[in-house]
Amino acid sequence: MCDSWHGAQCRTARGTIIGSGYHSIVKTKHYSSKMRLRPRILTRLVALAVIATTCAGALVPLPAAAQGLPTLGDSASDTLSPLMERKLGEEIMRDIRHDPDYLDDAPVLEYLNAFGSSLVAAQPQARGEAGYDFFFFAVRDPTLNAFALPGGFIAVHSALVLAAQNESELASVMAHEIGHVAQRHIARMLGQQKQDALIPLAAILLGVLASRGSHAGDAPAALVMGGQGLALQRQLKFSRDAEREADRVGLQILQAAHFDSSGMVAFFGRMQKASRGYTDAAPAYLRSHPLTTERIADIDARIRDQPHVSRPDNLAFHLIQARLRVLQDGSAQGLREAGEWFDKQLQQKTRVQTAAAKYGLALIALKQGATANAQALLAEARMASLAPPDVIMTSLAIDIALATKPGTGMPQQAQTALRQADAARAQFPLSRGIARQYGQALIAAARYQEAVDYLRDQAQLYRAEPQVQQVLAEAYAAQGKQALQHIALAESYALNGSLPSALEQLTIARRASDATFYDQAIIDARERELQTRWREVLKEQGKKPAPQP
Ligand SMILES: [Zn+2]
């Protein structure tokens, strides 16, 4: 399972694996007719695999497994510094956030991060010596996988979340990935690579992959991978140790967080079975890498004497599964298939399953523009759940109210949305998604100045949140304030790491007829700042700056 970032793989147009990592189960990217997913994130990971393989000679042996979380005896010279590792991770994340398969969805992100944080909090040592703030996210991908990037960024594939039968199973995968981060496997692998050479290397590889035409297949990646076989082999040894170590740390996290650790054995075992369903090159790979069987046996032995933990799943887990089932494929056929799934789920007639299925059907109805139907289904979901209002359903209720056009029999929808969002932000003060929905509701209710004031406050409080700047830009647009709209958009792009787009927005803002003297001063200052940053990025990438617009 977990193929960590280094365990990436890549297929040629004919579907042959041309390079693969060394994790336990290798999944080939499976393109069904209903999921025409761009293998972009995957190829990016191939680039990372290349980074790893190019410095395979620098591998540092892992210390023997100790009791508890071992303190790594690494000297500063043989591991990548935490700062550098984080920087590398952020560099890659900046790229991933632009990928259409990155699920930039507030309920999903909030659930995964609350869930992941609870795992880290249960075993604070898992933060590792680097003390990273973890960030968990989901990508649209039909294969069962999860991976850790440098610096504490952890991804789970949508299919993996859907395949988990309970929260303990999901926790087992995430805890394993946290284990990789805690043990600084990536830093150790990249260790002796000259540190200042890493970022340019990542940038060049990402650049090569990003510039691929859509019909080019994975040829450039294949070229890069070529000749790395030996290095890859040398890494296999390392990875098995790393895998075992991540399993061990993961297990400690699971136990500390009171999850059922047998979930790890069950899930890993099921994933191994599922991998046999893949008919191309995967089985051969598995035959030569019987790692997972060993790993499962290893974990099984560790938990044999552990008392069984019975733990009811949170409703949120089932709601997020339903949400991901809808979000993973937004095509008409994808929505139809998700709908059929929920219809089947309804026949199980358990309280939680019914609530989740109705929630999923409500989300489909919203996507199809059937807002009245969505509202009715969501009311049924709430009724079935018998639970106090939760943030995931509340957020959908606001989305439905916001999407309902006046004149569809519900002229008061903007007011309803605002009332709901206002109550929700008091009830769920930590939800960033709800906070932004409140901003959107103010705009929908034509209370533009209140929206601007509120969103400017939010932007001050949450300076790293590009989405707030986006909604702020909408509020300015509603007011007809062009210069301010484009300044806010520039900030949003800058926070997303798209510096050229940010600079372009500042140029548009300067030319706006309503740009005041004060606005011009802000634009000038921001432009100077962003240009300096952009020059630094280019310098790191070894490119000359393009002529300024
Ligand atoms: Zn792993």
61: alpha, beta or left? (left if phi > 0; alpha if psi -120 to 50): beta
Q: Tell me the one-letter amino acid at 200.
A: P
Please choose, from the candidates 464, 466, 468, the residue with its C-alpha nearest in 3D space to the C-alpha of residue 438. 468
- Measured over the CA atoms of residue 426, residue 431, residue 436 and residue 440, the dihedral's sign is negative
Report which of residues 79 and 517 the model is more confident about.
517
Tell me, what's the pLDDT at 253? 94
Q: What is the pLDDT of residues 303-326, one digit of tens each?
A: 887 777 788 889 999 999 999 999
Q: Tell me the pairing of strands 153-157 and 135-139.
A: parallel
Q: Pick the most confident of 36-50, 351-365, 400-414.
A: 351-365
If you measure from the C-alpha of residue 305 to the centroid of ligand 1, how many angstroms do you get, rounded to a whole number? Answer: 24
CB 473 within 8 A of CB 492: yes
Which of 151, 157, 152, 193 has its CA nearest to residue 50? Answer: 193
**Residue-level pLDDT at 140:** 92
How large is the average pLDDT for residues 375-379?
97
Q: Is the pLDDT of residue 399 over 70?
A: yes
The mean pLDDT value for 4-22 works out to 29
Ligand 1 centroid, distance to 241 Cα (angstroms): 10
* Å from CA of 9 to ligand 1 middle: 14
Q: Which residues of 459-479 are buried (b: 16+ CB within 10 A; e: fewer)?
A: beebeebbbbbbbbbbbbbbe
Report the range of poorest mean pLDDT among 104-118, 277-291, 355-369, 471-485: 277-291
292 or 216: which leads in pLDDT: 292
Rounded CA separation 179/246 (Å): 4
- Residue 493: predicted pLDDT: 94
Residue 6 Cα to ligand 1 midpoint, Å, equals: 9
Least confident of 124-133, 206-215, 537-546: 206-215
Most confident of 99-108, 158-167, 263-272, 361-370: 361-370
Distance 286 CA to ligand 1 centre (A): 15
Distance 48 CA to ligand 1 centre (A): 15
Q: Ligand 1 mean position to 147 CA, how many Å?
A: 7
Q: What is the mean pLDDT of residues 129-140?
A: 87
The predicted structure's pLDDT at residue 280: 43
